[in-house]
């Protein structure tokens, strides 16, 4: 197995590119793919301040490392979600990375700072855990970006994630979601720009990147994710990718090239967006007097904490 670039001994095969790479050229490939995604989709402009949504997993740590390596001014924010040991362990990897690199990491702990955790919020609001968790994370990252004067919030969604989300949205023809399933969402209405610079890298590649760079990350999956639809879509696409490498890339980037615009303009024409006011409690942009997050806090903060119950 020889490296496609230097013909030296290769350490990884990337079937999607029909090529093998040595350590040096694999790391360069990762950097180039992130730089290309940032340039192609105008994700981050020179001199902008970036807030990285850090979870302590391989994707967010690889993303942070790659952005620093590419010379961006990128700080992290990690949220202690209160999902048992998983959350404590995840946060500790994020903290260890920040300390080792000497970079700034803000920390929020849901229990300490807002009086609830994700399992309790899910139970009290009768939402599935990922819904309560997702809305909480979105709200807190947006707020931190506004408060800290960041231009863009970046997340570690990779090609496998985006292809699986797209697959799910197509299976159910979720037009609204398809209209917003873009690698970059512009700032507006008081929300910061959001970008996903890892869309050109597969999950296996971000894991390999971390191993080769000596970055420790939480390996176990979130216990609340077990059995959710997203994992099922991922597994289904993994099967297709195995027999036909490159399918995920073709599916996702084909959508961006040929269909995303149609969904985006359809939603813009069809429905029009409600004018956003400001949440009475936290001042965030919101279509209702009290935003969804503040309503969640209201429901969950007074609730009896529930034990961690992974989904089956």
Q: How far is the CB of 206 from ligand Q46 (least distance, A)?
A: 14
Question: According to the binding rule CB under 6 A, does residue 222 interact with ligand Q46?
Answer: yes
**Which SS3 state, helix, strand or coil, does residue 244 take?**
coil
* Residue 110 binding partner per list Zn ion, ligand Q46, none, with a CB distance cut-off of 5 to 8 Å that depends on partner kind: none
Question: According to the binding rule CB under 6 A, does residue 260 interact with ligand Q46?
Answer: no
Question: According to the binding rule CB under 5 A, does residue 282 interact with Zn ion?
Answer: yes
Question: For ligand Q46, which is the closer residue by CB, 74 or 224?
Answer: 224
What DSSP letter does each residue of 100-117 carry, written as one string? Answer: HHT--EEEEEIIIIIS--
Question: According to the binding rule CB under 5 A, does residue 6 interact with Zn ion?
Answer: yes
Q: How far is the CB of 222 from ligand Q46 (least distance, A)?
A: 3
Task: For strands 285-286 and 193-195, give the pairing.
Answer: unpaired
Residues 101-120 that bind ligand Q46 (CB under 6 A): 118
Distance CA 304, CA 287 (A): 29
CB 83 within 8 A of CB 185: no
**Which SS3 state, helix, strand or coil, does residue 286 take?**
strand
Q: How far is the CB of 278 from Zn ion (least distance, A)?
A: 9
Question: According to the binding rule CB under 5 A, does residue 279 interact with Zn ion?
Answer: yes
Question: According to the binding rule CB under 6 A, does residue 227 interact with ligand Q46?
Answer: no
Question: According to the binding rule CB under 6 A, does residue 134 interact with ligand Q46?
Answer: yes
- Phi-psi category of 16—alpha, beta or left, where left has phi over 0 and alpha has psi -120 to 50? alpha
Distance CA 24, CA 125 (A): 49
Nearest in space to 128 (alpha carbons), one of 232, 224, 233, 221:
224
Question: According to the binding rule CB under 6 A, does residue 130 interact with ligand Q46?
Answer: yes
**Contact region with ligand Q46 (CB under 6 A), list: 181-189, 218-226, 272-280, 297-305:** 218-226
Q: How far is the CB of 114 from Zn ion (least distance, A)?
A: 11
Question: For Zn ion, which is the closer residue by CB, 8 or 270?
Answer: 8
Rg (the chain; Cα; Å):
20
Distance CA 160, CA 191 (A): 26
- What residues line the site for ligand Q46 (CB under 6 A)? 81, 118, 129-130, 133-134, 222, 224-225
């Amino acid at each position: 197995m020889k490296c496609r670039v230097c013909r030296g001994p290769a350490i990884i095969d990337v079937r999607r590119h029909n090529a093998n790479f040595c350590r040096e050229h694999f790391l360069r490939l990762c950097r180039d793919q992130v730089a290309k995604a940032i340039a192609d989709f105008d994700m981050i402009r020179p001199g902008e301040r970036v807030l990285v949504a850090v979870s302590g997993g391989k994707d967010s740590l690889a993303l942070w490392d790659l952005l620093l390596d590419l010379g961006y001014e990128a700080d992290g924010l990690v949220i202690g979600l209160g999902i048992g040991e998983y959350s404590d362990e995840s946060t500790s990897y994020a903290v260890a990375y920040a300390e080792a690199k000497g970079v700034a990491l803000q920390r929020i702990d849901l229990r300490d700072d807002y009086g609830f955790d994700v399992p309790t919020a899910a139970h009290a609001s009768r939402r599935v855990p990922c819904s309560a968790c997702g809305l909480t994370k979105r709200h807190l990252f947006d707020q931190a970006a506004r408060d800290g004067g960041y231009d863009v919030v970046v997340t570690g969604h990779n090609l496998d994630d985006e292809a699986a989300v797209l697959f799910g949205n197509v299976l159910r023809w979720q037009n609204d979601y398809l209209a917003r399933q873009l690698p970059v969402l512009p700032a507006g209405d008081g929300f910061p720009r959001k970008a996903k610079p890892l869309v050109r890298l597969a999950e296996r590649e971000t894991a390999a990147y971390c191993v080769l760079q000596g970055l420790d990350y939480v390996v176990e999956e979130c216990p609340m994710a077990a059995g959710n639809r997203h994992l099922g879509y991922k597994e289904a696409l993994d099967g297709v990718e195995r027999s036909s490498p490159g399918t995920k890339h073709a599916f996702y980037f084909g959508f961006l090239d040929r269909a995303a615009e149609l969904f985006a303009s359809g939603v813009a024409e069809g429905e029009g967006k409600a004018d956003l006011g400001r949440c009475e409690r936290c001042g965030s942009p919101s279509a209702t007097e009290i935003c969804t997050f503040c309503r969640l806090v209201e429901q969950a903060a007074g609730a009896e904490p529930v034990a961690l119950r992974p989904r089956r």
